[in-house]
Every structure is written in C-alpha cells, then in structure tokens.
C-alpha cells in the first residue's frame, strides 16, 4: 500500500491531501457555527432549580434566534425574535457574567405580584407543580442593585408590569434561588437560549 502511494505523482498526492484538509476545515466551521448560533450543552451548578434540575444535571440548549454576545463591541445583539414562552427554562448571562438556568414566570406586558408566598400573573395565581412541596415565594429584595451602576437588569417590586423586552425569571427551589427577586427583570439580550432536553 505504501509503495503504491509512493508511486502516485506528487500532484495527485497534493490534491488528495488538499481534499482531506478542506473536509476537516469545513467540519470545523460547521461545528463552530453550530456551537455559536444553534446549540449548547451546559452543566448545572448548584441546586437553585431543584427538583427539576440538580447540581451536575446536563441541559441541552437551543440558541437559534437568541441574543449573540458581541464582546468585541461590548454588547449583545439579536438576529431574530426569540420564541420564549411562560414556564420555559432558559439559559442567560447573570449580572456576574455567569451562565445560569431559570424558569420564565412572567412575559413582557404581564402584571405580576407576589401575594402570601404565591406568584400571581395578570390576576391569576400561577399553578407551579414543579416546586418542592411547601415552597413559598418570598418578596423581591433589590439590595443587589445598591452596588451596580448602569445595569441592564431592572429592579422589581412585589408587584408591577413587566416592560417590553424584559422577563421575570425565578428558580424552582425558591428558598435557595438567586433570581429576578434579587437581580431584577432580565433583558431579552441577556437570554442566550432555551432548554429543550435535560437529564
């Protein structure tokens, strides 16, 4: 076999190696495109989403239509309007520049309130079967905002209307979750994708 290869003219060998190199390059570009624009695998840190997700759970995130980070320009940008529904699990960038998964509880334009440990959206108490037994939702604490200037997040009160382009995100393990009650309503450009599979 090696002798046959040696007998091939050098031009033929160069063509063969060029084709292989081109295929490897195209595969690399395809994988990079998929990772940046379409798909991401993420490992959960902590138990703020328990019992739905635990520390070490693996989530598969669909990024199509969500904000891309443009660190070169210091901002994020959207290339389409993301499809975000109530109760979706989303991956977003926190105020500490960490990737975090939380549940969408309130959508833009909805009126939220926290009453007697329960979440009410547009005068309807939210049915939250995914919460641990006996969980209560405490009222927001915006003390995190004291040290943050020019934050894109909006501090929330115990009730209010969610402005356009913002989402109310909470963890399922309400008593042990740092979420919109602490860091505020999340701007859409900070949401990087939607969880479609986890284990």
Q: What is the DSSP code string of 35-63?
A: IIIIEEEEE--SSTTTTTS-TT-EEEEE-
Per the annotation, the verdict on 182 as an active-site residue is: no
Q: Indicate which residue of 7, 18, 57, 102 is catalytic.
A: 102
> Rounded to an integer, what distance in angstroms lies between the CA atom of residue 67 and that of residue 39?
13
* Residue 45, both tokens: 């840190």
**Considering only CA atoms, which of 137, 178, 180 is closest in space to residue 47?**
178
Per the annotation, the verdict on 94 as an active-site residue is: no
Task: Give helix then strand counts, H and E, for the chain.
Answer: 3, 13
State residue 169 phi and psi, 5-degree precision: -120, 130
Asked whether 47 and 173 are in contact (CB, 8 A), the reply is yes
Q: Is the peptide bond before 174 cis (omega within 30 degrees of 0)?
A: no
> Rounded to an integer, what distance in angstroms lies between the CA atom of residue 88 and that of residue 7?
61
Catalytic residue numbers, as ranges: 48, 102
């Amino acid at each position: 076999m090696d002798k046959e290869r040696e007998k091939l003219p050098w031009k033929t060998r160069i063509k063969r190696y060029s084709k292989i190199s081109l295929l490897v390059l195209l595969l690399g570009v395809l994988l990079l495109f998929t990772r940046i624009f379409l798909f991401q695998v993420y490992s959960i840190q902590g138990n703020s989403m328990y019992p739905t997700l635990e520390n070490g759970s693996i989530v598969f995130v669909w990024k199509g239509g969500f904000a891309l980070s443009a660190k070169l320009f210091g901002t994020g940008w959207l290339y389409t309007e993301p499809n975000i529904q109530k109760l979706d699990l989303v991956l977003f960038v926190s105020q500490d520049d960490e990737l975090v998964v939380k549940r969408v509880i309130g959508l833009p334009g909805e009126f939220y309130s926290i009453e007697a440990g329960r979440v009410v959206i547009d005068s309807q108490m939210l049915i939250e079967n995914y919460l641990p037994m006996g969980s209560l939702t405490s009222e927001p604490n915006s003390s995190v905002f004291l040290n943050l200037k020019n934050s894109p997040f909006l501090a929330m009160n115990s009730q209010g209307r969610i402005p356009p382009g913002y989402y109310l995100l909470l963890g399922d393990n309400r008593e042990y979750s740092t979420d919109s009650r602490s860091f505020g309503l999340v701007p859409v450009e900070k949401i990087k994708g939607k969880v479609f599979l986890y284990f």
